[in-house]
Structure 1
Amino acid sequence: MAEPTDPPPPDSELGAATQAAWAAERAQIEAAEAARVQEVEAAARLERERIVAEVLALPHLPGVYRYFDAQDQVLYVGKAKDLKRRVSSYFQKNHAGTRIGMMVARIARLETTVVRTEAEALLLENNLIKTLNPRFNILFRDDKSYPYLKFSGHAYPRMSYYRGAVDKRHTYFGPYPSGWAVKEAIQLMQKVFRIRTCEDSVFNNRSRPCLLHQIKRCSGPCVPDGQTPEYAANVANASRFLRGETDEVLAGLQAQMMAHAERYEYELAAELRNQIQSLSRVLQQQVVEESSATGRERDVDILAVKVQGGRACVNLAMVRGGRHLGDRAFFPKHVDDATALHLDDEPVHSPERLVLEAFIAQHYLASPVPQLIVISEPVEEELADALAAQTGSRVTLQAQPRGQRRIWLDMCVTGAELALTRLLSEEGSQQARTRALVDALDMPVPELDKFRVECFDISHTAGEATMASCVVFEGHQMQSSQYRRYTIEGITGGDDYAAMRQVLTRRYSKLAEAAQAGTGPNQARLPDLVLVDGGRGQVSMAREVFEELGLDLSLIAGVEKGEGRKVGLEELVFADGREKVYLGRDSAALMLIAQIRDEAHRFAITGMRAKRASTRVGGSRLEDIPGVGPKKRAQLLQRFGGVRGVADASVEDLASVKGISRELADEIYRALR
């Protein structure tokens, strides 16, 4: 657009001709601007007419619709019993001043998919929501898969913690709400049924039982004395117990005990007596037990929702085999925007119901569905039909339970309230810390929610396996999905300055080019603050990199250790020449900086350790060591119980193995370390 010229001097200084020329130029500019506005408005009208024409051509069938903005970003995904009627309601009424009006004004195009039933529409809608991440839908993030307790398909099955795709060769129990719940179940199985937990490689190479056998946590099937039919019976009883058949297990153990006693096999009877006592104690310690009110349903999910302060929490509690295994809290995004979208011709539902419906539809797309789900809010009936169509069996959604199920639901509601209160408290604290840091550094940040910090750290062991980390803080929280690790190569081992130069150059060279060209994507924008874990030396190196890339030096700050390297005495060192800043031991800004720096250090050191372990062990297996053949490898594994045991052994211990000379022991020691 042409810029208007400066206003003319007073009439006394200009002639009439000059004044007229200026007025004509001004009129020309205003006319051009008016023409451009009219052109934009005309294009918008044509675009809206095109969209309305598409809407009028839609069928009266169930389906799913998607709205996109001018940048082709998805705005909203919805389902409808009648596509034409539903989508038309967005464009035929005046929604000015509402969230719907704000969304409709941004719609540049739409897409629709026709399906056979409303249940299919519901499943497709939530598949697309999870895939497209729309701006105006309630969205639950994809969490890691649930853990299981696994019995391997071995002659003497191994019990282990498992997370991932299932294999038909093995038996799985769960899912469990957390890894802690699985580990607790494993400990219980060890105490009562004495199932092995060792790796198959260790199991196949042992010559005597391990410590777990000595403390009566394993029956020792790794040696011939422990390879008895009783082990298979224990595995079967453990499986039945995990499925909730506790009475049957106890009755079977008591019958076996009496049979041994009648044959005067008192030692075997005493072992079964101890097993029964251990199992009885476990059942007594179980706080929530299945009652007659639950009938034969042993697997139940309980869902409770709480909405407050613009945030929502859905708490999921799991009952498996009649035992309450614990709960897990989920916090969705876009709650305010999504719950505000309400058309005049549709029923008004509470935010709690909308959030719960979104969770049920999205969560059970990729998770096992129990036959009974107890819920704190009534939901639409089509949800149960959609879940039944997905699983191939009937699914009941019960909103007003009684008896034991009511107790479970009340516990779940309390858990949701506590989790949401904790989240709001933590978010308030984090926002206060962000504000304190921005104020302490006097930074011009127009939107505090978009304040972004990237922090770098270097980690190595005496110059070996050098690893750099970059962690990101944005939106008042650490953004783990944006973390990056950088393997540092081509430098002198232990040169932290060269490592910092390399990681900063690799991180910001392309961003600098994009920023200078004005084409940088929002998700890869330059941060508002770059923290380096170090003092003036590291800051000087960062300054050199930023000067070469043409970036603003005021972005860089180093976290310098205080006197005696004591926590709370850190100071900030700046690359643009500003004086050092001491924030104070109790400063909220220092707490945030320490949180970000510690996370960068953790992320760097875990990456370095993994790389070092891969270099030392993964890249130097026993069979790759010259002089170690299959026979010597078997002897070493049998003696030390696995590769890890061989790696931890001293040269003297290695040399004590038959066939391993002192020279070969030295070679093995160096290769594995």
Structure 2
Amino acid sequence: MERPTLPETTRPGVYRMLNADGEILYIGKARNLKKRVSSYFRSSGLAPKTRALMSHVASVEVTTTHTENEALILESNLIKRHRPRYNILLRDDKSYPYIYLSTHTKFPRLGLHRGARNGKGRYFGPYPSAGAVRESLRLMQKLFPVRQCEDGFFRNRSRPCLQHQIQRCSAPCTRLITPEEYRQDVDHAVLFLEGKSGEVVDDLITKMGQAASGLQYEKAARFRDQISTLRRVQERQYISGERGDLDVVAVAMQGGSASIQLFNFRHGQNLGNRTYFPKNAQGKSESEVLYAFLSQRYLEQSAPAEILVTQEPDQRELLQDVLSTHAGHKVSIRHQLRGDRTRWMKMAQENAELALQSRLSHASSAIARVEALQDALKLHQLPQRMECFDISHTMGEETVASCVVFEDGVALKSDYRRLNIRDIAGGDDYAAMRQALQRRYTRLIKGEGKLPDLLLIDGGPGQCSQASSVLEELQIEGVTVLGVAKGPDRRAGQERLFLDGAAAQTLPADSPALLLIQQIRDESHRFAITGHRQRRAKKRNRSPLEEISGVGPKRRQQLLNHFGGLQEIVRAGVEDISAVPGINQEIAQRIYDRFHE
């Protein structure tokens, strides 16, 4: 796999490792993004789990922050939100969860709630995931020992449970705390959930002083610990001071390409960001791009109360009215910012510019490799569209052909195709290649797709001759055929190349042109093997009885129950099979013939 583009910034931030399908595999933080991410690509010294991770990594995305503390907070939020395979694995919930407080009871409880909010009590949220609610509830237990047990469990306690022993609950079930003292903890919990942790700290400081003055040192120590924990929670991040929901949208444009950075802030937490690269942005202004993005995104899902943007979008008043109606609450789009909001926008703008530079750099390097391939093979034109075929089977069983497509040096997965090869002798790779090419290019000349400039074949002169013959039969001109055969030791870098039937040639192992050829060939190989394994597994999970006409699920079950298994059916004669209820002589003969052809 080609080495992903690595970040050049030495700023602190968060990095996300993605596979070829765009799935986030791992999220981490770094004090120095360039140094940290580069360390994953060492040739040796990686732990086995890290090596397993890196074998699937196709790209790396980064988000810069102002401090490492902010990066840590963002990393935690992103892990809870995206649930990467190599960090944690949480269930993907279908509705947003809330924290529920049963304020109508004598000893209220805190808990996770999902669904309609029509019960008595207060609801705090929504939270991005159930994991985020559970993490908040665990933190609440350390700060304010309010019970979180179910009411049935609470009513039937005769002695304190384990939560009290580990100082996570004040045991109101056994009246070890008075209703008044318990209510103070509940009030503090409510203030904290409302984002008023500063008021909680001030109140705790007062109570700590009062307890110390009264020589209640254990009580004062508990207040001290609560204050210390709250101070850590109040570690400054750029969303501090906000309790509402808002999004920050920044646009960066260069050379006809655009990048949009969207940061989501919900209930005092930075839930992370996402990068968008809108198509057809050539000739458009930033205001037009911003208008198109806002109108499309927020008419698919409700907008928050505020949207902060880099500049005023086209038809801002119209957008505000439409989005407010759609969301069911007032939506304000603001671009004249002050204070902390200016810094949030600066952070989003920097990330938008960084993402765009990374994308342009990657695109230019891909084109550079295609140009190097044209020079190396002395092609008359730049091979903008390239297709590669490969054949995969096991001892001739379940043969599958793959066709992968690259445009401008980048994989175009939407045009990938697999073809199940039938009616050929097992192991005949030439016949399999010929059938795959005939079926593929017969469809293309009928207008079902675009013909390639360069056709790569995983094989030598024999496979290339099959390709040339098919193209000639279908009267397809202008397609260059390139055979890619493994070298003497079957090592990467020793490939022999056969261009339109000419003698073999080789390229230097570090040639950008050869690296592109290897990438395309390996992708074709991977795609073919995956299809073959899926087809083989499907066949091996299929009973031979399913292939016999007239033997449906009920008769299969009767046969297996009568004989006790497939092996006994194979050993049985026609008369034995026909003795099974529902199996006549004709069907019995078919079953016998299936196993004794």
Q: Does 1:608 align with 2:532?
A: yes
* CA-to-aligned-CA distance 1:55-97 (integer Å, 9 cap, x gap): xxxxxxxxxxxxxxxxxxxxxxxxxxxxxxxxxxxxxxxxxxx
Identity %: 38
1:108-147 equivalence runs, <5 A: none
1:202-241 equivalence runs, <5 A: 233=111
SS in 1 for 2:325: helix
- AA aligned to 1:182 is H
SS in 2 for 1:326: strand
1:396–1:248 Cα change, 3 Å: farther
Q: Does 1:566 align with 2:491?
A: yes
Q: Does 1:360 align with 2:294?
A: yes
Range that drifts further, 429-438 or 316-325: 316-325
Q: Does 1:537 align with 2:428?
A: no
* CA-to-aligned-CA distance 1:251-304 (integer Å, 9 cap, x gap): 5772117989x9642424346739x99xx9999699885856323x24x32211
Q: Does 1:267 align with 2:162?
A: yes
Q: Does 1:317 align with 2:242?
A: no
Q: Does 1:294 align with 2:189?
A: no
CA contact (8 A) 1:294 1:404 kept: no
- How far is 1:328 from its partner? 2.0
Q: Does 1:400 align with 2:336?
A: yes
1:436-585 equivalence runs, <5 A: 436-445=372-381, 448=382, 451-512=384-445, 524-552=449-477, 555-574=480-499, 576-585=500-509
Aligned to 1:182: 82
CA contact (8 A) 1:532 1:558 kept: yes
CA contact (8 A) 1:189 1:238 kept: no
Aligned to 1:429: 365
Aligned to 1:159: none
Aligned equivalents of 1:185, 1:511: Cα separation in 2: 39
- AA aligned to 1:400 is Q
Aligned equivalents of 1:318, 1:185: Cα separation in 2: 22
* CA-to-aligned-CA distance 1:587-621 (integer Å, 9 cap, x gap): 11112212222222232233333334444458899
- How far is 1:416 from its partner? 1.0
CA contact (8 A) 2:409 2:516 kept: no
Aligned equivalents of 2:425, 2:542: Cα separation in 1: 24
SS in 1 for 2:333: strand
Aligned equivalents of 1:493, 1:318: Cα separation in 2: 56
- How far is 1:400 from its partner? 3.3
SS in 2 for 1:467: strand
1:562–1:382 Cα change, 3 Å: same
Aligned equivalents of 1:383, 1:306: Cα separation in 2: 21
- AA aligned to 2:368 is A
- How far is 1:500 from its partner? 1.0
- AA aligned to 1:294 is E
Aligned equivalents of 1:186, 1:316: Cα separation in 2: 25
Aligned to 2:579: none
- How far is 1:352 from its partner? 2.2
Aligned equivalents of 1:242, 1:311: Cα separation in 2: 31
Aligned to 1:587: 511
Q: 1:373 aligns with which of 298, 307, 310?
A: 307
CA contact (8 A) 1:546 1:553 kept: no
1:273–1:439 Cα change, 3 Å: same
1:562–1:603 Cα change, 3 Å: same
Higher helix share: 1
Aligned equivalents of 1:322, 1:619: Cα separation in 2: 58
1:492–1:326 Cα change, 3 Å: farther
- How far is 1:564 from its partner? 0.9
Aligned equivalents of 1:610, 1:286: Cα separation in 2: 52
1:421–1:284 Cα change, 3 Å: farther
SS in 1 for 2:311: coil
Q: Which runs of 5+ in 2 are unaligned?
A: 1-20, 25-75, 94-108, 115-122, 170-188, 190-224, 547-551, 571-597
CA contact (8 A) 2:385 2:453 kept: yes
CA contact (8 A) 1:543 1:553 kept: no
SS in 2 for 1:336: coil
Aligned equivalents of 1:611, 1:331: Cα separation in 2: 36
CA contact (8 A) 1:304 1:315 kept: yes
* CA-to-aligned-CA distance 1:531-588 (integer Å, 9 cap, x gap): 01122232122123223223348611111111211111212113x3322221211111
Q: Does 1:326 align with 2:272?
A: yes
* CA-to-aligned-CA distance 1:518-538 (integer Å, 9 cap, x gap): xx5xx8332111001122232
SS in 1 for 2:489: helix
SS in 1 for 2:307: strand
Q: 1:255 aligns with which of 141, 146, 153?
A: 146
- How far is 1:663 from its partner? 7.3
Aligned to 2:46: none
Aligned equivalents of 1:372, 1:468: Cα separation in 2: 52
SS in 1 for 2:241: helix
1:395–1:542 Cα change, 3 Å: same
Q: Does 1:389 align with 2:325?
A: yes
- How far is 1:501 from its partner? 0.9
Aligned to 1:85: none
Aligned equivalents of 1:567, 1:263: Cα separation in 2: 72
Aligned equivalents of 1:458, 1:248: Cα separation in 2: 54
Aligned equivalents of 1:542, 1:281: Cα separation in 2: 70
- AA aligned to 1:571 is R
- How far is 1:312 from its partner? 1.3
- AA aligned to 1:426 is H
If the length of structure 1 is used for normalisation, what is the TM-score?
0.50
Aligned equivalents of 1:615, 1:255: Cα separation in 2: 57
Aligned equivalents of 2:355, 2:455: Cα separation in 1: 32
- How far is 1:311 from its partner? 1.5
- How far is 1:468 from its partner? 1.8
Name which structure has the greater RCO, CA cutoff 8 Å, separation 6+. 1
- AA aligned to 2:374 is V
Q: Which runs of 5+ in 1 are unaligned?
A: 1-143, 148-175, 191-195, 199-230, 340-350, 515-519, 633-659, 667-673
Aligned equivalents of 1:287, 1:470: Cα separation in 2: 53
- How far is 1:661 from its partner? 9.1
1:553–1:362 Cα change, 3 Å: closer
Aligned to 1:36: none
SS in 2 for 1:293: coil
CA contact (8 A) 1:318 1:324 kept: yes
- AA aligned to 1:374 is L
1:235–1:188 Cα change, 3 Å: farther
- AA aligned to 1:412 is A
CA contact (8 A) 1:257 1:273 kept: no
- How far is 1:451 from its partner? 2.0
Aligned equivalents of 1:552, 1:587: Cα separation in 2: 29
Aligned equivalents of 2:536, 2:77: Cα separation in 1: 33
- How far is 1:233 from its partner? 4.7
SS in 2 for 1:254: coil
Aligned equivalents of 1:593, 1:581: Cα separation in 2: 13
Q: CA RMSD in A?
A: 4.8
